[in-house]
Amino acid sequence: MADSYYDPKDLRKFPKITEWSEELGTKFFDYYGKVFEKGALSEREKSLIALAVSHVVKCPYCIDAYTQDGLQRGITKEEMMEAVHTGAAIESGATLVHATQMMKKYDKLSH
């Protein structure tokens, strides 16, 4: 066994999840591939969204994959960092917006 939970080499084995559940694995990868095709959004835009979400869900495999994907698409480091900040802003906003509940409860319980 590896000494850590995350091994970058495991990303290469991702397609192998299908071996233990062919139907669900195949359906997932078909869906995944379709999502990233050019549609109303460009592949470039989808790559940046994926990069931001990768950070929010804190997935090291996804961060590696979509940093590389962005480089391949000519996305600059400034664009990548702005995408990450966008994700971070939503994530911290999601925490902070709960402060309204705290304030409401505080006011209700206080004189």
Q: Which residues bind other proteins (CB under 8 A)?
A: 8, 12, 42-44, 68-69, 71-74, 76
Nearer to other proteins (CB atom), residue 22 or residue 43: 43
d(CA 103, CA 26): 47
CB of 70 to other proteins, least distance (A): 9
Residue 57 or 71: the one with the smaller Cβ distance to other proteins is 71
Residue (21 or 42) nearer to other proteins, CB: 42
For the CB of residue 68, give the shortest distance to other proteins in the complex, in Å.
Answer: 5
Query: Which tokens in the block code for residue 1?
Result: 């066994």
Which tokens in the block code for residue 18?
């299908």
Helix axes 43-56, 77-96, angle to 10 degrees: 50
C-alpha angle 20/24/29, rounded to 5°? 100
